[in-house]
Amino acid sequence: MLIPTLVILGGAHLAFAKCKCTPTEDCWPSVSAWDALNATVDGKLIRNHPIAQPCYPGAGYSDERCEEISANWSTNSWLAQFPTGYSYPTIETCAAINATLGEGHYPQCDLGNYPVYTVNATGAKHLAAGINFAKDHDVRLVIKNTGHDISQRSQGYGSLSIWIKSIKDGLHFQQTYTPSDGSCPSNYTGRAIKIGGGYVWDDVYNFAYKHGSIVVGGDDRTVGCIGGYLQGGGHGPASHQFGLGADQVLEYEVVLASGELVTANECQHQDLFAALRGGGGGTFGVVTSATVKAYPELTALGHELTIVAFPNASSELINATADIVASYPSLVEAGYSGTGALTHQDGALIYAHNFVNLLNDNSTAAINKAKDTMTQQIVNQWSPYNGTLFVIQSSFNTFNSFFKWYNSHPHISDGQNRPMMASRFFDKTSLSSQQSNMKNLLETLVSGQGTQTTTESATLFNLVAGGKVLDPQPLTSVNPAWRKTYVVMQQIDFWPDNAGYEDIAQVKEALTLKKLKAMKELAPGMGTYGNEADPYDPDWRKDWWGTNYDWLVSVKKKYDPEDVFWCWRCVGNDAWAEVTGGTLYGPLCQAT
Ligand SMILES: Cc1cc2nc3c(=O)[nH]c(=O)nc-3n(C[C@H](O)[C@H](O)[C@H](O)COP(=O)(O)OP(=O)(O)OC[C@H]3O[C@@H](n4cnc5c(N)ncnc54)[C@H](O)[C@@H]3O)c2cc1C
Ligand SMILES: *[C@@H]1O[C@H](CO)[C@@H](O)[C@H](O)[C@H]1NC(C)=O
Ligand SMILES: *[C@@H]1O[C@H](CO)[C@@H](O)[C@H](O)[C@H]1NC(C)=O
Ligand SMILES: *[C@@H]1O[C@H](CO)[C@@H](O)[C@H](O)[C@H]1NC(C)=O
Ligand SMILES: *[C@@H]1O[C@H](CO)[C@@H](O)[C@H](O)[C@H]1NC(C)=O
Ligand SMILES: *[C@@H]1O[C@H](CO)[C@@H](O)[C@H](O)[C@H]1NC(C)=O
Ligand SMILES: *[C@@H]1O[C@H](CO)[C@@H](O)[C@H](O)[C@H]1NC(C)=O
Ligand SMILES: *[C@@H]1O[C@H](CO)[C@@H](O)[C@H](O)[C@H]1NC(C)=O
Ligand SMILES: *[C@@H]1O[C@H](CO)[C@@H](O)[C@H](O)[C@H]1NC(C)=O
Ligand SMILES: CC(=O)N[C@H]1CO[C@H](CO)[C@@H](O)[C@@H]1O
């Protein structure tokens, strides 16, 4: 079957010289070559299979296994334990559906663009062995941690994956940071935590709390720390207070394309250090540890608000949300952060937020002042309509730590895992002016939501910037537009489990051509966060890295001149392209 091409936007016409070897070709390494690699990596080489293979007729079919796989299919932490577990695949060639029902949508089950072999590394030595094997045998290489990436950057057709998840050299707390390399002076003398391998934020949040500390991590606890998150920017409910995830990194240990293990900090490989603080994962080297800043715990004032529209008052709620969005700059300046969302649930439109205000001053006066801002800016505006247009619930709660606030409510880790997203940075001006334009934008974003019962969508307002994020940090390479950002607006659209390729293409196209376009028009010249962005944005280089892009390419060329590391939508990937020939995936070939 020939599968129709998905959205093609601004696709350059390239000619190709040589390609990486694929499993169907003679140049693909022999079984004995793979065995030799396996011996070098202490038996940690895995030959991959699609996770949901038991759902499909043929060898390995098992009704019982299929049911278990389907039940766990949208649990990100469950997926992360598989070498081919990916949270948000852009292309799926073996979905956990009941294939015996034979709808014909997913006629085959194969690995698709997932790696063929995986080195389940437990140390830097295994990573170097994988890198050298890929170089020697002309096999495509990918780096994987949790597989949470939204732009398939930890995947690759016909690839060998080096998987860092099982590197577990421990978490180490320092009350006063001292650089690993004694000769490197540091301006920073606060607390630090060394994250020695493939840990997730849940591990580090718990560890930090045991030491009375806060770290900047994801809103989601299943995201990996040292991979795409820290290297690509990293935001969460504490970034407003302390800066972006990338801003927190004091040093990295990195395996280079040469296989050499180095330290990157202010003194050694300074350019690599800066590139790994914002330039993104998968392209500069393989990080095996990161040492990040930690801060003493603070009092946390939480505010939860839900506004449920009456069935005939959706349009009023969109109006109210536009008004609330206009108040975000005041809330951010008063110290609030967290995530707000406009969603459809069971036909009703709902605005909800769960914000936190981390208080250096925990006096009653300071707490009341923070409450007053929220009450006056938002709650009092809409209370008069409680019971006529909306049902409104508002509550404040004070916690004696960030950790207790964080654990007081659910986070987004699980749920539907076939989303597409588009996002945009909003500065103060684009939030507070032109309110009718904001209302139009919200109407565009929610359109198409809730039309199919299996499809849920969400418009998220991530108040993860402002505050300390506005201070440019030396030796970072995140999009400079972060330093003007107050809110990262994010539109998430899902496609139904049983969607065919045509249906999926439609959801993607509407997101890029209609919704993302509308966001860009309202926040011109801003850009967005590449880790939570629309991979089909034709302007991804400029939108995700702004003026830092060209410099990042120069660092890529210096540290990986042979393009050993390559990923789609990664810095410096122009010399190669995936040649799909009208299908969904294909070999990686050198552009001439
Ligand atoms: C459910 C969910 C919630 C999220 N919530 C947040 C959030 O709150 N805040 C936020 O900022 N982002 C969030 N994200 C986005 C997240 O930051 C990115 O998906 C990020 O790329 C994940 O990194 P990873 O290493 O866990 O994933 P992977 O998919 O394993 O890797 C991501 C990228 O990093 C590379 N990589 C991985 N490990 C290494 C390494 N050791 N060295 C070099 N390169 C490496 C990969 O090659 C790939 O390019 C969320 C994503 C999901 C799926
Ligand atoms: C690698 O070796 C281990 C231990 O001998 C074995 O269990 C595993 O199946 C091998 N992997 C491959 C891909 O052959
Ligand atoms: C798949 O559908 C068949 C036919 O209706 C049914 O017998 C089987 O139990 C289903 N399997 C799962 C995993 O739901
Ligand atoms: C990877 O290695 C770790 C550590 O040895 C082990 O616990 C885990 O089960 C392995 N994963 C797979 C999928 O083989
Ligand atoms: C450390 O301090 C020096 C002198 O104040 C400054 O020039 C440098 O940029 C600082 N480095 C970092 C990483 O903040
Ligand atoms: C919505 O319906 C309720 C009763 O069902 C009515 O009281 C209210 O006026 C209606 N509101 C609008 C805006 O039409
Ligand atoms: C929304 O607000 C605008 C002014 O801000 C007003 O003109 C319009 O009538 C409102 N719409 C609804 C449905 O309340
Ligand atoms: C809205 O009305 C409900 C029901 O009377 C009440 O429980 C709730 O506290 C009210 N919300 C606000 C913000 O006043
Ligand atoms: C307020 O801060 C002081 C000093 O940091 C601390 O001792 C006290 O426990 C805090 N109170 C609360 C309610 O958190
Ligand atoms: C980790 C996880 O979510 N496991 C679940 C997988 O599915 C089975 C069957 O529904 C559950 O019992 C597990 O808890």
**238 and 214 Cβ atoms separated by less than 8 Å:** yes
Helix (H) or strand (E) holding 213: strand 213-214
List of the chain residues with pLDDT < 70: 1-16, 101-107, 413-417, 448-456, 496-498
Q: Which of 390, 347, 364 is nearest to 301 (CA)?
A: 364
pLDDT, residue 142, reads 98
pLDDT, residue 316, reads 96
Q: Is the CB of 63 under 6 A from ligand 3?
A: yes
Instruction: Starting from the CA of residue 81, give the closest ligand.
Output: 4
Separation of CA 311 and ligand 6 centre (Å): 9
Interatomic CA distance for residues 451 and 53, integer angstroms? 31
pLDDT, residue 498, reads 67
pLDDT, residue 16, reads 66
Maximum distance among all alpha carbons in the chain? 75
Q: Which of 404, 297, 414, 395 is nearest to 354 (CA)?
A: 395
pLDDT, residue 15, reads 59
Q: Is the CB of 394 under 6 A from ligand 8?
A: yes
Separation of CA 295 and ligand 9 centre (Å): 15
- Mean pLDDT of the chain, nearest integer: 92
Nearest CA to ligand 9 atom 7: 362
Q: Which atom of ligand 3 is nearest to the CA of 67?
A: 13
Q: Which atom of ligand 6 is nearest to the CA of 313?
A: 13
Single-letter residue type at 314? S
Helix/strand/coil for 421: strand
Helix/strand/coil for 300: strand
pLDDT, residue 497, reads 64
CATH 3.30.43.10 residue spans of the chain: 6-167+562-590
Q: CA separation (Å) from 538 to 229, 477, 569, 572?
A: 23, 21, 10, 16
pLDDT, residue 560, reads 98
Separation of CA 385 and ligand 8 centre (Å): 10
Separation of CA 246 and ligand 5 centre (Å): 16
pLDDT, residue 584, reads 85
Per DSSP, helices labelled H in 314-468 are: 314-333, 364-374, 380-382, 402-406, 428-432, 435-446
pLDDT, residue 5, reads 34
Q: CA separation (Å) from 481 to 325, 402, 405, 486, 548?
A: 19, 27, 29, 10, 10
> In this structure, what token pair is assigned to residue 204?
């580090």
pLDDT, residue 450, reads 43
Question: CATH code for 6-167+562-590?
Answer: 3.30.43.10
Q: Is the CB of 68 under 6 A from ligand 3?
A: no
* Residue 288 CB partners (closer than 8 Å, separation 6+): 123, 124, 127, 164, 167, 169, 196, 197, 226, 253, 254, 255, 261
Separation of CA 147 and ligand 4 centre (Å): 15
Nearest CA to ligand 1 atom 21: 228
Q: Which atom of ligand 7 is nearest to the CA of 315?
A: 13
Question: CATH code for 299-410+419-547?
Answer: 3.40.462.20
Q: Is the CB of 62 under 6 A from ligand 3?
A: no
Pairs from 498-505 (Cβ < 8 Å, separation ≥ 24): 498/97, 498/103, 498/105, 498/454, 499/105, 500/105, 501/3, 501/4, 501/6, 501/105, 501/584, 502/4, 504/6, 505/4, 505/6, 505/7
What's the predicted TM-score (pTM) here?
A: 0.94
Interatomic CA distance for residues 218 and 462, integer angstroms? 12
| β-bridge pairing 485-494 and 336-345 | unpaired
Q: Alpha-carbon dihedral of residues 35, 36, 38, 42, nearest 10 degrees?
A: 140
The CATH architecture that domain 171-296 belongs to is: 2-Layer Sandwich (3.30)
Encode pLDDT of 267-301 as tens digits: 999 999 999 999 999 999 999 999 999 999 999 99
Q: Which atom of ligand 5 is nearest to the CA of 266?
A: 13
CATH 3.40.462.20 residue spans of the chain: 299-410+419-547
DSSP for 304-336, please give it: EEEEEEPTT-HHHHHHHHHHHHHHHHHHHHTTE
